[in-house]
Structure 1
Protein backbone atom coordinates (compact mmCIF):
# COMPACT_ATOMS: atom_id res chain seq x y z
CA UNK A 1 0.00 0.00 0.00
CA UNK A 2 3.04 2.28 -0.35
CA UNK A 3 1.36 4.00 -3.25
CA UNK A 4 -1.21 5.49 -0.88
CA UNK A 5 1.37 7.53 1.02
CA UNK A 6 0.85 11.22 0.33
CA UNK A 7 2.99 14.29 0.89
CA UNK A 8 0.78 15.35 3.79
CA UNK A 9 1.66 12.11 5.56
CA UNK A 10 5.33 12.99 5.21
CA UNK A 11 4.80 16.55 6.43
CA UNK A 12 2.84 15.33 9.45
CA UNK A 13 5.44 12.70 10.28
CA UNK A 14 8.37 15.12 9.98
CA UNK A 15 6.67 17.67 12.21
CA UNK A 16 6.05 15.08 14.95
CA UNK A 17 9.54 13.60 14.55
CA UNK A 18 11.20 16.99 14.83
CA UNK A 19 9.05 18.18 17.74
CA UNK A 20 8.74 14.77 19.47
CA UNK A 21 5.45 16.10 20.79
CA UNK A 22 2.07 15.68 19.13
CA UNK A 23 0.63 18.87 20.60
CA UNK A 24 3.46 21.12 19.40
CA UNK A 25 3.47 19.41 16.00
CA UNK A 26 -0.27 20.02 15.66
CA UNK A 27 0.23 23.72 16.44
CA UNK A 28 3.06 23.91 13.90
CA UNK A 29 0.88 22.33 11.24
CA UNK A 30 -2.22 24.34 12.18
CA UNK A 31 -4.30 21.20 12.66
CA UNK A 32 -5.93 19.66 15.69
CA UNK A 33 -4.14 16.87 17.52
CA UNK A 34 -6.61 13.97 17.02
CA UNK A 35 -6.52 14.05 13.18
CA UNK A 36 -2.74 14.34 13.34
CA UNK A 37 -2.48 11.25 15.52
CA UNK A 38 -4.84 9.39 13.21
CA UNK A 39 -2.73 10.25 10.14
CA UNK A 40 0.48 9.10 11.84
CA UNK A 41 -1.19 5.82 12.78
CA UNK A 42 -2.38 5.41 9.19
CA UNK A 43 1.15 6.05 7.92
CA UNK A 44 2.54 3.42 10.27
CA UNK A 45 -0.11 1.01 9.06
CA UNK A 46 0.82 1.63 5.43
CA UNK A 47 4.51 1.16 6.17
CA UNK A 48 3.89 -1.90 8.28
CA UNK A 49 6.15 -0.77 11.13
CA UNK A 50 5.80 1.65 14.08
CA UNK A 51 7.60 4.94 13.67
CA UNK A 52 7.24 6.21 17.24
CA UNK A 53 7.43 4.85 20.75
CA UNK A 54 4.66 6.57 22.68
CA UNK A 55 4.37 6.75 26.46
CA UNK A 56 2.29 8.96 28.70
CA UNK A 57 5.32 11.18 29.18
CA UNK A 58 7.30 11.12 25.94
CA UNK A 59 7.44 10.41 22.23
CA UNK A 60 10.56 8.97 20.61
CA UNK A 61 11.50 7.55 17.22
CA UNK A 62 11.92 3.88 16.58
CA UNK A 63 14.84 2.69 14.48
CA UNK A 64 12.50 2.57 11.49
CA UNK A 65 11.29 6.06 12.38
CA UNK A 66 14.84 7.48 12.43
CA UNK A 67 15.58 5.96 9.04
CA UNK A 68 12.29 7.18 7.60
CA UNK A 69 12.79 10.71 8.96
CA UNK A 70 15.94 11.24 6.92
CA UNK A 71 14.22 10.03 3.77
CA UNK A 72 11.03 11.98 4.38
CA UNK A 73 12.98 15.20 4.95
CA UNK A 74 14.94 14.60 1.75
CA UNK A 75 11.76 13.92 -0.22
CA UNK A 76 10.12 17.10 1.05
CA UNK A 77 13.24 19.16 0.28
CA UNK A 78 13.40 17.78 -3.26
CA UNK A 79 9.70 18.37 -3.79
CA UNK A 80 9.96 21.95 -2.55
CA UNK A 81 12.97 22.56 -4.75
CA UNK A 82 11.12 21.18 -7.77
CA UNK A 83 8.09 23.33 -6.97
CA UNK A 84 10.27 26.44 -6.64
CA UNK A 85 12.11 25.67 -9.88
CA UNK A 86 8.86 25.04 -11.72
CA UNK A 87 7.50 28.36 -10.52
CA UNK A 88 10.75 30.07 -11.57
CA UNK A 89 10.50 28.52 -15.01
CA UNK A 90 6.89 29.63 -15.20
CA UNK A 91 8.01 33.17 -14.41
CA UNK A 92 10.84 33.01 -16.95
CA UNK A 93 13.50 33.25 -14.25
CA UNK A 94 15.54 30.16 -15.16
CA UNK A 95 16.33 28.24 -18.32
CA UNK A 96 18.16 29.03 -21.56
CA UNK A 97 17.45 31.86 -23.97
CA UNK A 98 19.00 31.73 -27.45
CA UNK A 99 19.19 35.21 -28.95
CA UNK A 100 20.50 36.29 -32.34
CA UNK A 101 21.64 39.88 -32.88
CA UNK A 102 23.27 42.13 -35.45
CA UNK A 103 26.74 43.38 -34.57
CA UNK A 104 25.98 47.08 -35.04
CA UNK A 105 23.36 46.77 -32.31
CA UNK A 106 26.25 46.57 -29.85
CA UNK A 107 26.97 50.22 -30.68
CA UNK A 108 23.49 51.24 -29.57
CA UNK A 109 21.30 50.26 -26.64
CA UNK A 110 21.91 46.51 -26.87
CA UNK A 111 24.71 46.20 -24.25
CA UNK A 112 22.49 48.00 -21.74
CA UNK A 113 19.67 45.56 -22.50
CA UNK A 114 21.94 42.55 -22.01
CA UNK A 115 23.22 43.94 -18.73
CA UNK A 116 19.74 44.73 -17.42
CA UNK A 117 18.49 41.27 -18.35
CA UNK A 118 21.47 39.55 -16.75
CA UNK A 119 20.96 41.49 -13.53
CA UNK A 120 17.23 40.78 -13.46
CA UNK A 121 17.49 37.07 -14.36
CA UNK A 122 20.93 35.81 -13.29
CA UNK A 123 19.83 32.15 -13.42
CA UNK A 124 18.96 32.29 -17.12
CA UNK A 125 21.69 31.06 -19.47
CA UNK A 126 21.77 33.68 -22.23
CA UNK A 127 23.27 32.28 -25.44
CA UNK A 128 24.15 35.05 -27.93
CA UNK A 129 24.71 34.61 -31.66
CA UNK A 130 26.00 37.51 -33.74
CA UNK A 131 24.98 37.47 -37.40
CA UNK A 132 23.24 39.37 -40.19
CA UNK A 133 19.59 40.34 -39.96
CA UNK A 134 18.63 37.77 -42.60
CA UNK A 135 20.30 34.94 -40.72
CA UNK A 136 18.82 35.98 -37.39
CA UNK A 137 15.38 35.88 -38.98
CA UNK A 138 16.16 32.47 -40.46
CA UNK A 139 17.20 31.20 -37.02
CA UNK A 140 13.93 32.28 -35.46
CA UNK A 141 11.86 30.80 -38.24
CA UNK A 142 13.60 27.42 -38.04
CA UNK A 143 13.45 27.32 -34.25
CA UNK A 144 17.15 27.57 -33.40
CA UNK A 145 16.72 31.07 -31.94
CA UNK A 146 14.13 32.20 -29.38
CA UNK A 147 14.29 35.91 -30.27
CA UNK A 148 16.36 38.25 -32.38
CA UNK A 149 17.63 41.80 -32.61
CA UNK A 150 17.49 43.04 -36.21
CA UNK A 151 18.34 46.15 -38.18
CA UNK A 152 15.58 47.15 -40.59
CA UNK A 153 14.35 43.58 -40.87
CA UNK A 154 12.42 42.29 -43.86
CA UNK A 155 8.67 41.72 -43.38
CA UNK A 156 7.78 38.22 -42.15
CA UNK A 157 4.40 36.64 -41.56
CA UNK A 158 5.95 34.56 -38.77
CA UNK A 159 7.45 37.36 -36.70
CA UNK A 160 6.25 40.12 -34.41
CA UNK A 161 8.72 43.01 -34.69
CA UNK A 162 9.02 46.02 -32.38
CA UNK A 163 11.40 48.95 -32.80
CA UNK A 164 13.62 49.43 -29.74
CA UNK A 165 16.04 52.06 -31.09
CA UNK A 166 16.12 54.49 -34.01
CA UNK A 167 18.99 56.53 -35.42
CA UNK A 168 19.68 58.67 -38.49
CA UNK A 169 21.88 57.73 -41.41
CA UNK A 170 25.16 59.55 -41.96
CA UNK A 171 27.61 59.88 -44.83
CA UNK A 172 31.03 58.34 -44.25
CA UNK A 173 33.92 59.84 -46.22
CA UNK A 174 37.69 59.51 -46.20
CA UNK A 175 39.28 62.23 -44.07
CA UNK A 176 41.12 63.35 -47.23
CA UNK A 177 37.88 63.87 -49.17
CA UNK A 178 37.23 67.36 -50.48
CA UNK A 179 34.00 67.64 -48.49
CA UNK A 180 35.35 66.13 -45.28
CA UNK A 181 35.57 69.52 -43.59
CA UNK A 182 31.86 70.25 -43.94
CA UNK A 183 29.52 70.10 -40.92
CA UNK A 184 26.75 68.48 -42.99
CA UNK A 185 26.49 67.11 -46.49
CA UNK A 186 23.86 66.88 -49.20
CA UNK A 187 23.20 63.35 -50.36
CA UNK A 188 23.17 64.60 -53.95
CA UNK A 189 26.85 65.51 -53.71
CA UNK A 190 27.70 61.80 -53.46
CA UNK A 191 26.20 61.06 -56.88
CA UNK A 192 29.47 60.25 -58.61
CA UNK A 193 31.25 58.66 -55.66
CA UNK A 194 32.15 54.94 -55.50
CA UNK A 195 30.44 53.23 -52.55
CA UNK A 196 31.74 50.71 -50.05
CA UNK A 197 28.74 48.80 -48.78
CA UNK A 198 27.53 45.64 -47.05
CA UNK A 199 26.10 42.71 -49.06
CA UNK A 200 22.48 42.33 -50.09
CA UNK A 201 22.45 38.92 -48.40
CA UNK A 202 22.63 40.64 -45.00
CA UNK A 203 18.98 41.65 -45.42
CA UNK A 204 17.08 43.14 -48.33
CA UNK A 205 15.38 46.00 -46.49
CA UNK A 206 18.57 46.94 -44.63
CA UNK A 207 20.41 46.90 -47.98
CA UNK A 208 17.86 48.91 -49.93
CA UNK A 209 16.80 51.47 -47.33
CA UNK A 210 19.86 53.77 -47.59
CA UNK A 211 20.04 53.26 -51.35
CA UNK A 212 16.44 54.42 -51.65
CA UNK A 213 17.56 57.74 -50.19
CA UNK A 214 20.03 58.10 -53.05
CA UNK A 215 17.33 57.29 -55.59
CA UNK A 216 15.30 60.21 -54.23
CA UNK A 217 18.20 62.37 -55.44
CA UNK A 218 18.15 60.72 -58.87
CA UNK A 219 20.98 58.22 -58.64
CA UNK A 220 21.77 54.72 -57.48
CA UNK A 221 25.29 54.36 -56.11
CA UNK A 222 27.94 52.27 -57.81
CA UNK A 223 29.08 49.76 -55.18
CA UNK A 224 32.74 48.99 -55.84
CA UNK A 225 33.53 47.07 -52.63
CA UNK A 226 31.47 44.95 -50.26
CA UNK A 227 32.26 44.03 -46.66
CA UNK A 228 30.27 42.27 -43.97
CA UNK A 229 31.28 44.35 -40.96
CA UNK A 230 31.22 48.07 -40.36
CA UNK A 231 34.76 48.14 -39.01
CA UNK A 232 35.99 46.72 -42.31
CA UNK A 233 33.85 49.15 -44.30
CA UNK A 234 35.24 52.10 -42.35
CA UNK A 235 38.81 50.91 -42.87
CA UNK A 236 38.24 50.58 -46.61
CA UNK A 237 36.77 54.07 -46.73
CA UNK A 238 39.75 55.38 -44.77
CA UNK A 239 42.00 53.77 -47.37
CA UNK A 240 40.30 55.93 -50.02
CA UNK A 241 38.29 53.20 -51.70
CA UNK A 242 34.98 55.06 -51.60
CA UNK A 243 32.24 56.50 -49.39
CA UNK A 244 29.18 55.03 -47.74
CA UNK A 245 25.93 55.63 -45.87
CA UNK A 246 25.86 54.23 -42.35
CA UNK A 247 23.74 54.35 -39.21
CA UNK A 248 24.96 57.06 -36.86
CA UNK A 249 26.22 54.56 -34.28
CA UNK A 250 29.27 53.70 -36.42
CA UNK A 251 30.83 57.00 -35.34
CA UNK A 252 31.84 55.16 -32.17
CA UNK A 253 34.29 52.98 -34.09
CA UNK A 254 35.36 55.54 -36.70
CA UNK A 255 39.12 56.04 -36.91
CA UNK A 256 40.77 59.43 -37.67
CA UNK A 257 41.07 58.56 -41.35
CA UNK A 258 37.30 58.85 -41.88
CA UNK A 259 34.64 61.46 -41.12
CA UNK A 260 30.92 60.93 -40.45
CA UNK A 261 28.72 63.78 -41.62
CA UNK A 262 24.99 64.30 -40.93
CA UNK A 263 22.83 64.29 -44.05
CA UNK A 264 20.95 67.49 -44.83
CA UNK A 265 17.18 67.28 -45.38
CA UNK A 266 17.01 63.54 -44.63
CA UNK A 267 14.61 62.33 -41.95
CA UNK A 268 14.59 58.59 -42.72
CA UNK A 269 16.02 56.55 -39.85
CA UNK A 270 17.44 53.11 -39.33
CA UNK A 271 15.67 50.95 -36.76
CA UNK A 272 17.01 48.39 -34.32
CA UNK A 273 14.18 45.92 -33.81
CA UNK A 274 13.31 43.12 -31.44
CA UNK A 275 11.71 40.17 -33.19
CA UNK A 276 9.82 37.24 -31.66
CA UNK A 277 7.67 34.57 -33.23
CA UNK A 278 4.00 35.52 -33.48
CA UNK A 279 2.02 33.83 -30.75
CA UNK A 280 5.11 33.40 -28.57
CA UNK A 281 3.95 32.66 -25.01
CA UNK A 282 7.06 31.45 -23.18
CA UNK A 283 7.70 33.60 -20.10
CA UNK A 284 11.47 33.53 -20.64
CA UNK A 285 11.01 35.29 -24.00
CA UNK A 286 8.40 37.68 -22.63
CA UNK A 287 10.75 38.72 -19.83
CA UNK A 288 13.53 39.56 -22.28
CA UNK A 289 11.07 41.49 -24.41
CA UNK A 290 9.94 43.48 -21.38
CA UNK A 291 13.54 44.32 -20.47
CA UNK A 292 14.35 45.34 -24.04
CA UNK A 293 11.31 47.58 -24.37
CA UNK A 294 11.97 49.07 -20.94
CA UNK A 295 15.55 49.91 -21.86
CA UNK A 296 14.36 51.44 -25.11
CA UNK A 297 12.01 53.83 -23.32
CA UNK A 298 14.17 54.36 -20.22
Structure 2
Protein backbone atom coordinates (compact mmCIF):
# COMPACT_ATOMS: atom_id res chain seq x y z
CA UNK A 1 0.00 0.00 0.00
CA UNK A 2 1.50 3.29 -1.18
CA UNK A 3 1.75 6.02 1.47
CA UNK A 4 1.21 8.69 -1.17
CA UNK A 5 -2.06 7.06 -2.22
CA UNK A 6 -3.14 6.93 1.41
CA UNK A 7 -2.61 10.70 1.58
CA UNK A 8 -4.73 11.09 -1.54
CA UNK A 9 -7.42 8.85 -0.05
CA UNK A 10 -7.43 10.88 3.18
CA UNK A 11 -7.88 14.15 1.27
CA UNK A 12 -10.81 12.78 -0.72
CA UNK A 13 -12.35 11.23 2.41
CA UNK A 14 -12.17 14.54 4.27
CA UNK A 15 -13.37 16.69 1.37
CA UNK A 16 -15.85 14.17 -0.12
CA UNK A 17 -15.16 15.95 -3.39
CA UNK A 18 -12.51 15.03 -5.95
CA UNK A 19 -12.15 18.59 -7.22
CA UNK A 20 -11.54 20.15 -3.80
CA UNK A 21 -9.24 17.29 -2.81
CA UNK A 22 -7.21 17.77 -6.00
CA UNK A 23 -6.83 21.49 -5.27
CA UNK A 24 -5.76 20.71 -1.71
CA UNK A 25 -3.17 18.24 -2.99
CA UNK A 26 -2.04 20.53 -5.84
CA UNK A 27 -2.58 17.85 -8.48
CA UNK A 28 -4.95 17.51 -11.44
CA UNK A 29 -8.32 15.92 -10.74
CA UNK A 30 -7.94 13.14 -13.39
CA UNK A 31 -4.59 12.16 -11.86
CA UNK A 32 -6.17 12.00 -8.40
CA UNK A 33 -9.04 9.86 -9.71
CA UNK A 34 -6.54 7.42 -11.26
CA UNK A 35 -4.56 7.16 -8.01
CA UNK A 36 -7.71 6.42 -6.00
CA UNK A 37 -8.78 3.83 -8.58
CA UNK A 38 -5.34 2.18 -8.34
CA UNK A 39 -5.61 2.13 -4.54
CA UNK A 40 -9.04 0.51 -4.76
CA UNK A 41 -7.72 -2.05 -7.23
CA UNK A 42 -4.86 -2.90 -4.90
CA UNK A 43 -7.22 -3.32 -1.95
CA UNK A 44 -9.85 -5.15 -3.96
CA UNK A 45 -12.74 -2.98 -2.80
CA UNK A 46 -14.36 0.34 -3.66
CA UNK A 47 -13.63 3.08 -1.13
CA UNK A 48 -16.07 5.67 -2.46
CA UNK A 49 -19.58 5.43 -3.87
CA UNK A 50 -19.49 7.56 -7.02
CA UNK A 51 -23.00 6.71 -8.26
CA UNK A 52 -24.61 9.75 -6.67
CA UNK A 53 -24.19 13.47 -7.22
CA UNK A 54 -22.08 13.71 -4.04
CA UNK A 55 -19.57 10.96 -3.38
CA UNK A 56 -19.94 8.95 -0.20
CA UNK A 57 -17.66 6.61 1.73
CA UNK A 58 -18.29 2.88 1.37
CA UNK A 59 -17.97 0.44 4.26
CA UNK A 60 -14.43 -0.31 3.06
CA UNK A 61 -13.61 3.40 3.00
CA UNK A 62 -15.01 3.90 6.50
CA UNK A 63 -12.89 1.00 7.76
CA UNK A 64 -9.74 2.29 6.07
CA UNK A 65 -10.05 5.94 7.18
CA UNK A 66 -8.95 5.70 10.85
CA UNK A 67 -6.21 3.24 9.95
CA UNK A 68 -4.96 5.48 7.16
CA UNK A 69 -4.79 8.40 9.59
CA UNK A 70 -2.84 6.24 12.05
CA UNK A 71 -0.42 5.02 9.37
CA UNK A 72 0.22 8.53 8.08
CA UNK A 73 0.76 9.83 11.62
CA UNK A 74 3.26 7.04 12.26
CA UNK A 75 5.07 7.75 9.01
CA UNK A 76 5.31 11.45 9.89
CA UNK A 77 6.56 10.60 13.38
CA UNK A 78 9.15 8.20 11.96
CA UNK A 79 10.38 10.91 9.61
CA UNK A 80 10.67 13.39 12.50
CA UNK A 81 12.58 10.89 14.63
CA UNK A 82 14.91 10.03 11.75
CA UNK A 83 15.62 13.71 11.09
CA UNK A 84 16.28 14.39 14.77
CA UNK A 85 18.57 11.36 14.94
CA UNK A 86 20.55 12.75 12.00
CA UNK A 87 20.87 16.01 13.96
CA UNK A 88 21.98 14.24 17.14
CA UNK A 89 18.98 15.39 19.19
CA UNK A 90 17.48 11.95 19.87
CA UNK A 91 19.08 8.60 20.67
CA UNK A 92 21.38 7.03 23.26
CA UNK A 93 24.97 7.83 24.21
CA UNK A 94 27.12 5.60 26.42
CA UNK A 95 29.60 7.70 28.44
CA UNK A 96 32.45 6.24 30.48
CA UNK A 97 34.42 8.25 33.03
CA UNK A 98 37.05 7.98 35.72
CA UNK A 99 35.54 8.55 39.14
CA UNK A 100 37.80 11.53 39.91
CA UNK A 101 36.16 13.43 37.05
CA UNK A 102 32.92 13.64 39.03
CA UNK A 103 34.55 16.34 41.18
CA UNK A 104 35.47 18.52 38.20
CA UNK A 105 33.67 19.21 34.94
CA UNK A 106 31.40 16.20 34.62
CA UNK A 107 28.38 17.34 36.66
CA UNK A 108 28.19 20.59 34.69
CA UNK A 109 28.67 18.82 31.36
CA UNK A 110 26.01 16.22 32.07
CA UNK A 111 23.48 18.76 33.36
CA UNK A 112 24.00 21.05 30.40
CA UNK A 113 23.77 18.19 27.91
CA UNK A 114 20.55 16.84 29.43
CA UNK A 115 19.02 20.32 29.34
CA UNK A 116 19.99 20.80 25.68
CA UNK A 117 19.12 17.25 24.55
CA UNK A 118 16.26 15.94 26.71
CA UNK A 119 15.48 13.16 24.23
CA UNK A 120 18.98 11.67 24.26
CA UNK A 121 19.43 8.99 26.91
CA UNK A 122 22.71 9.50 28.75
CA UNK A 123 23.99 6.13 30.05
CA UNK A 124 26.94 6.48 32.45
CA UNK A 125 29.71 4.01 33.30
CA UNK A 126 32.33 4.56 36.03
CA UNK A 127 35.56 2.86 34.89
CA UNK A 128 39.29 3.42 35.20
CA UNK A 129 41.36 4.58 32.24
CA UNK A 130 42.53 1.11 31.18
CA UNK A 131 38.95 -0.15 31.25
CA UNK A 132 37.79 2.91 29.30
CA UNK A 133 40.24 2.10 26.51
CA UNK A 134 38.95 -1.47 26.24
CA UNK A 135 35.33 -0.31 26.34
CA UNK A 136 35.94 2.20 23.52
CA UNK A 137 37.70 -0.39 21.37
CA UNK A 138 34.88 -2.88 21.99
CA UNK A 139 32.29 -0.15 21.25
CA UNK A 140 30.52 -0.76 24.56
CA UNK A 141 30.85 2.98 25.26
CA UNK A 142 30.80 5.90 22.82
CA UNK A 143 32.93 8.49 24.63
CA UNK A 144 35.17 8.50 27.69
CA UNK A 145 36.58 10.95 30.19
CA UNK A 146 40.00 9.53 31.02
CA UNK A 147 42.92 10.62 33.17
CA UNK A 148 45.36 11.53 31.76
CA UNK A 149 44.33 10.23 28.32
CA UNK A 150 44.09 7.14 26.13
CA UNK A 151 46.88 6.30 23.72
CA UNK A 152 45.63 4.10 20.89
CA UNK A 153 45.63 4.53 17.10
CA UNK A 154 41.88 3.81 16.99
CA UNK A 155 41.07 6.50 19.54
CA UNK A 156 41.12 10.31 19.49
CA UNK A 157 42.00 11.84 22.86
CA UNK A 158 41.52 15.57 23.52
CA UNK A 159 42.57 17.37 26.70
CA UNK A 160 39.52 19.11 28.16
CA UNK A 161 40.87 20.16 31.56
CA UNK A 162 44.20 20.68 33.28
CA UNK A 163 44.36 21.15 37.02
CA UNK A 164 46.93 20.98 39.82
CA UNK A 165 47.31 17.96 42.04
CA UNK A 166 46.86 18.35 45.78
CA UNK A 167 47.50 16.30 48.90
CA UNK A 168 44.69 14.66 50.85
CA UNK A 169 45.93 13.84 54.36
CA UNK A 170 44.47 13.03 57.76
CA UNK A 171 43.49 16.18 59.66
CA UNK A 172 45.62 15.15 62.64
CA UNK A 173 48.76 14.84 60.50
CA UNK A 174 51.26 17.57 61.44
CA UNK A 175 51.63 18.48 57.77
CA UNK A 176 47.99 19.56 57.77
CA UNK A 177 49.08 22.59 59.81
CA UNK A 178 51.04 23.88 56.80
CA UNK A 179 49.43 26.00 54.09
CA UNK A 180 51.46 24.31 51.35
CA UNK A 181 53.27 20.97 51.19
CA UNK A 182 56.33 19.94 49.21
CA UNK A 183 56.06 16.52 47.60
CA UNK A 184 59.31 15.51 49.31
CA UNK A 185 57.61 16.19 52.68
CA UNK A 186 55.58 13.05 52.05
CA UNK A 187 58.56 10.71 51.73
CA UNK A 188 57.97 9.22 55.20
CA UNK A 189 54.19 9.00 54.92
CA UNK A 190 52.28 5.86 53.91
CA UNK A 191 50.44 6.34 50.60
CA UNK A 192 46.96 5.35 49.54
CA UNK A 193 46.98 5.04 45.75
CA UNK A 194 44.35 4.31 43.13
CA UNK A 195 43.35 2.59 40.99
CA UNK A 196 44.74 -0.75 42.11
CA UNK A 197 44.29 -2.34 38.68
CA UNK A 198 44.53 -2.57 35.76
CA UNK A 199 47.86 -0.85 35.29
CA UNK A 200 49.44 1.40 34.08
CA UNK A 201 47.12 4.05 35.50
CA UNK A 202 46.92 7.30 37.46
CA UNK A 203 48.63 5.45 40.32
CA UNK A 204 51.76 4.98 38.21
CA UNK A 205 51.77 8.70 37.37
CA UNK A 206 51.86 9.46 41.12
CA UNK A 207 54.61 6.92 41.75
CA UNK A 208 56.71 8.45 38.97
CA UNK A 209 56.29 11.95 40.46
CA UNK A 210 57.60 10.63 43.78
CA UNK A 211 60.59 8.96 42.13
CA UNK A 212 61.50 12.25 40.46
CA UNK A 213 61.57 13.79 43.94
CA UNK A 214 64.04 11.12 45.01
CA UNK A 215 61.90 8.68 46.97
CA UNK A 216 59.80 5.59 46.52
CA UNK A 217 56.65 5.87 48.61
CA UNK A 218 55.48 3.20 50.99
CA UNK A 219 52.17 1.88 49.70
CA UNK A 220 49.80 1.32 52.61
CA UNK A 221 46.65 0.70 50.56
CA UNK A 222 45.65 0.36 46.92
CA UNK A 223 42.02 1.01 46.04
CA UNK A 224 39.90 0.94 42.92
CA UNK A 225 38.39 4.42 43.23
CA UNK A 226 39.26 7.86 44.56
CA UNK A 227 36.25 7.83 46.88
CA UNK A 228 37.59 4.77 48.71
CA UNK A 229 41.07 6.30 48.84
CA UNK A 230 39.69 9.43 50.52
CA UNK A 231 37.73 7.33 53.00
CA UNK A 232 40.94 5.52 53.95
CA UNK A 233 42.72 8.86 54.38
CA UNK A 234 39.93 9.97 56.71
CA UNK A 235 40.65 7.05 59.07
CA UNK A 236 44.40 7.71 59.06
CA UNK A 237 45.50 4.96 56.66
CA UNK A 238 47.83 7.32 54.81
CA UNK A 239 48.01 10.25 52.41
CA UNK A 240 46.79 10.37 48.84
CA UNK A 241 47.61 12.63 45.91
CA UNK A 242 44.44 13.69 44.15
CA UNK A 243 43.23 16.23 41.58
CA UNK A 244 42.66 19.59 43.25
CA UNK A 245 38.95 19.39 42.40
CA UNK A 246 38.63 16.37 44.71
CA UNK A 247 38.71 18.80 47.62
CA UNK A 248 35.01 19.28 46.80
CA UNK A 249 34.54 16.00 48.67
CA UNK A 250 34.40 17.39 52.19
CA UNK A 251 35.00 14.26 54.23
CA UNK A 252 35.31 14.46 57.99
CA UNK A 253 38.90 13.79 58.97
CA UNK A 254 40.44 14.77 55.62
CA UNK A 255 42.47 17.92 54.99
CA UNK A 256 43.47 19.09 51.51
CA UNK A 257 46.62 21.09 50.90
CA UNK A 258 48.12 22.48 47.68
CA UNK A 259 51.70 21.73 46.71
CA UNK A 260 54.48 24.20 47.30
CA UNK A 261 55.73 26.03 44.20
CA UNK A 262 54.84 24.71 40.76
CA UNK A 263 52.34 22.02 41.58
CA UNK A 264 52.38 18.84 39.51
CA UNK A 265 49.48 18.77 37.08
CA UNK A 266 46.93 16.26 35.95
CA UNK A 267 44.77 16.39 32.86
CA UNK A 268 41.37 15.05 31.97
CA UNK A 269 40.80 13.99 28.38
CA UNK A 270 37.77 13.36 26.22
CA UNK A 271 38.25 10.21 24.15
CA UNK A 272 36.22 8.62 21.36
CA UNK A 273 36.73 6.22 18.48
CA UNK A 274 38.31 7.74 15.40
CA UNK A 275 35.74 6.03 13.16
CA UNK A 276 32.67 7.08 15.17
CA UNK A 277 30.31 9.04 12.91
CA UNK A 278 27.34 9.25 15.27
CA UNK A 279 25.63 12.68 15.23
CA UNK A 280 24.80 12.18 18.92
CA UNK A 281 28.48 11.65 19.77
CA UNK A 282 29.49 14.62 17.60
CA UNK A 283 26.98 16.84 19.41
CA UNK A 284 28.14 15.67 22.84
CA UNK A 285 31.80 16.29 22.01
CA UNK A 286 30.98 19.74 20.62
CA UNK A 287 29.26 20.65 23.89
CA UNK A 288 32.30 19.50 25.89
CA UNK A 289 34.65 21.52 23.67
CA UNK A 290 32.42 24.58 24.04
CA UNK A 291 32.55 24.20 27.81
CA UNK A 292 36.36 23.90 27.66
CA UNK A 293 36.64 27.09 25.59
CA UNK A 294 34.77 29.15 28.19
How does the TM-score come out when normalised to structure 1? 0.89
1:146 offset after TM fit, Å? 2.0
Aligned structure 1 segments of 4 or more residues deviating by more than 6 angstroms = none
Q: How far, CA to CA, are the matches of 1:149 and 1:281 in structure 2?
A: 18
**Secondary structure of the equivalent of 2:248?**
helix
Q: What SS does the aligned partner of 1:176 have?
A: coil
Would you say how many aligned residue pairs link Structure 1 and Structure 2?
A: 294
Alignment CA distance shift 1:22-1:169 (3 Å): same
- Measured in 2, the distance between the counterparts of 1:214 and 1:225 equals 16
Secondary structure, in 3 states, of the residue corresponding to 2:158? Answer: strand
Q: Quickly say closer, same or farther: Cα 1:57–1:225, change in 2 above 3 A.
A: same
Rounded to whole Å, the distance in 2 between the matches of 1:282 and 1:144 is 14
Aligned to 1:188: 184
**Where does 1:188-207 land on structure 2 (aligned, <5 Å)?**
188-207=184-203
| More off after superposition, 220-229 vs 159-168 | 220-229
Quote the Cα distance in structure 2 between the aligned partners of 1:6 and 1:119.
39
C-alpha separation between the residues in 1 aligned to 2:235 and 2:112? 38
In the TM superposition, what is the alpha-carbon distance from 1:256 to its structure 2 partner?
4.3
Superposed counterparts of 1:1-298, under 5 Å: 5-54=1-50, 57-298=53-294
How far apart are residue 275 of structure 1 and its match? 1.3
Larger CA deviation: 46-55 vs 186-195:
46-55
How far residue 168 of structure 1 moved from its aligned partner, in angstroms, is 0.6
Whether the aligned pair in 2 keeps the contact of 1:199 and 1:226 (CA below 8 Å) is: yes
| Structure 1 alignment gaps of length 5 or more | none
Is residue 104–residue 246 contact of structure 2 (8 Å, CA) maintained in 1? no
Whether contact under 8 Å (1:153, 1:203) holds in the other structure is no
Question: Structure 1, residues 193-240: CA drift from partner, whole Å, max 9, x if none?
Answer: 221211452552422223332233222222222222323322332333
* 1:10 to 1:255, Cα distance in 2 relative to 1, 3 A: closer
Q: Give the Cα–Cα distance (whole angstroms) in 1 for the partners of residues 38 and 6 of structure 2.
A: 12
Conserved 8 A contact 2:49-2:57 = yes
Whole-angstrom distance in 1 between the partners of 2:5 and 2:131: 55
Report the CA distance between 1:176 and its aligned residue.
2.0
Tell me, yes or no, if the aligned pair for 1:196 and 1:224 is still in contact at 8 Å.
Answer: yes
Deviation per CA, 1:247-266: give whole Å up to 9, x if none: 11221114342221111233
Tell me the CA shift for residue 143 of structure 1: 2.4
TM-aligned CA deviation for residue 154 of structure 1:
4.1
What secondary structure is seen at the aligned counterpart in 1 of 2:177? coil
SS state of the match for residue 185, structure 1? coil
5+ residue gaps, structure 2, are none
**262-271 vs 280-289, greater mean Cα deviation:** 262-271
Contact 2:142 2:272 in 1 (8 A): yes
2:129 touches 2:201 (CA, 8 Å); kept in 1?
no
